[in-house]
Structure 1
């Protein structure tokens, strides 16, 4: 199989060291367009779409493989192996944060650092853990996806973006939710929201930057702090950016934090 075609892989930039950008649920590689230009001069930039998202090869979707986040982590590993990448700086948004953690645990030789933007190890509240949602909340969301797909996207997009002064970004996110195959997206939502990667965090051996947004309904402050505490070699940055998509709504702050981290930790 042509992996680069399967995942719609794009390689940009002039640098020798690689930054691989992994998009969140219901999105695609285009969501990184405000951030990647700031790194193209110094890094090789790898962009891709998970199978079932963006302009990936939908015929490559395997329900069994993608019934858990490990299947998406294998996408990341496959791309890195195909391009013969080593010492990759993985930049993940939302669910891609845990996908990157899983990939780095399985193949630590591929990665040098992980940058996690809006990560969550578990979205469902537990007895002694506040993930942000009750199981009933998320089951209700999936039910809406089943019965009113367009209505679901219209409801979720402003909650995720949470920047009312930038309605064009909310509209873009809503359109992105609606542009993917509804059956695949519904399954990805279930895998995302009901995953539990808390026990994986302590197995990550790579240095890591945790970027926590302000007023994030999807990954609240307690979640980011929990991840920082569980990953031994991690740095925590609380962002002024509100919502869950700072690479779209606040790209300047996103770039500055990543650059400062890399300057301190990766050179």
Structure 2
């Protein structure tokens, strides 16, 4: 199957401009980037796609075997980069996609030359000397609730993940995005996301990396952003004046500005 159709690939900006690939997180699709794309597309070739099973992708191409590990999402990224013959692209990954980018940069180094990690978390579960934000029991309860009543879970959790209770329209948008996903696909994606541990993978990152976190984030606390920065020698951390786990929606101008500053520095 044609990768562009399978992953609902869309491209904007100058055809010969440096490539920037934007990757969405769990329960989302490429539409989550719409508020930052115009600023990036003025100077860069912006590539958007949906992971198989999300958004406008071909859900018939989804399989639990492939997507029960982060490697399945890494393969989607590699396929998209190959289909467009991208070289030294900047991969901008939100949430779990930040770790997908880490793995993709190692898997297809000729395709990805830099990383932007937006509210990343290499491990959501607290460990000795590490704060991921959740206990193992918290995560199992979260996954059990998701699996027993996905729509109810989405309605309750999406506003918490989004934050910004004074702007309820943002929580409603994320709720609608979650609810549009097939519950079985969401179950697998959630387990892949919340049970992953990519801390050791961070140490192997050699490309220039920007880490973006927010002042308040219920999913990835500030300690996580600092941990990621400290684990990647070639990285720097910028804390956005924003709250919630999705600054590309809650603070798109600040997010775009930080990404553009990083891109300019790569030249």
Corresponding residue number in structure 2 for 1:40: 41
- Which position in structure 1 is the counterpart of 2:167? 166
Instruction: Name the counterpart of 1:123.
Output: 124
> Which residue of the partner structure matches residue 263 of structure 2?
262
* Aligned equivalents of 1:214, 1:161: Cα separation in 2: 13
Q: Deviations over 1:125-158 (max 9, x none)?
A: 1122110011111111111112221210011111
Question: Are 1:51 and 2:58 an aligned pair?
Answer: no
Q: How does 1:106-255 map to 2 (within 5 A)?
A: 106-255=107-256
Contact 1:97 1:116 in 2 (8 A): yes
Structure 1 CA distance for aligned equivalents of residues 57 and 122 of structure 2 = 26
Give yes or no for the alignment of 1:13 onto 2:1: no
Work out whether residues 160 and 244 of structure 1, in 8 Å CA contact, stay in contact via their aligned partners in 2.
yes
CA distance in 1, matches of 2:99, 2:150: 26
CA positional deviation for 1:174: 0.3
Give the equivalent residue in structure 2 for 1:63.
Answer: 64
**Number of residue-to-residue matches in the alignment:** 266
- State the alpha-carbon separation in 2 of the partners of residues 149 and 76 from structure 1: 27
The alpha carbon displacement at 1:232 in A equals: 1.1
The 3-state SS of whatever aligns with 1:55 is coil
Measure the CA separation in 1 of the matches of 2:84 and 2:149.
40
Name the CA distance, whole Å, in 1 between partners of 2:86 and 2:263.
18
Specify the SS of the correspondent of 2:82: helix
Q: CA deviation at 1:107?
A: 1.2
**Matches of 1:259 and 1:2, distance apart in 2:** 31
Distance in 1 separating the partners of 2:13 and 2:261:
19
How far is 1:62 from its partner?
1.6
Runs (4+) of structure 1 moved beyond 4 Å? none
Shift of 1:236: 0.7
Partner of 1:94: 95
Instruction: Name the SS for the 2:203 alignment partner.
Output: helix
Deviations along 1:161-195, whole A, 9 cap, x unmatched? Answer: 11112111100100110101100001100010000
Give 1:108 deviation, angstroms: 1.1
Q: Equivalent residue of 1:237, what SS?
A: strand
After TM superposition, give the deviation of residue 211 of structure 1 in Å: 0.4
Query: For 1:34 and 1:150, how far apart are their aligned partners in 2?
Result: 26
1:12 positional shift: 0.9
Q: Tell me the CA shift for residue 240 of structure 1.
A: 1.0
TM-score, length-normalised on structure 2?
0.98
- Please state whether the residue corresponding to 1:108 is helix, strand or coil: coil
Cα distance, 1:71 vs structure 2: 0.8
Q: CA deviation at 1:239?
A: 1.2
Q: Give the alignment's Cα RMSD to 1 decimal.
A: 0.9
The runs of 5 or more residues in structure 1 that have no matched partner are none
Q: Is the 8 A contact 1:108 1:206 kept in 2?
A: no
Taking the aligned partners of 2:164 and 2:56, their CA distance within structure 1 comes to 27
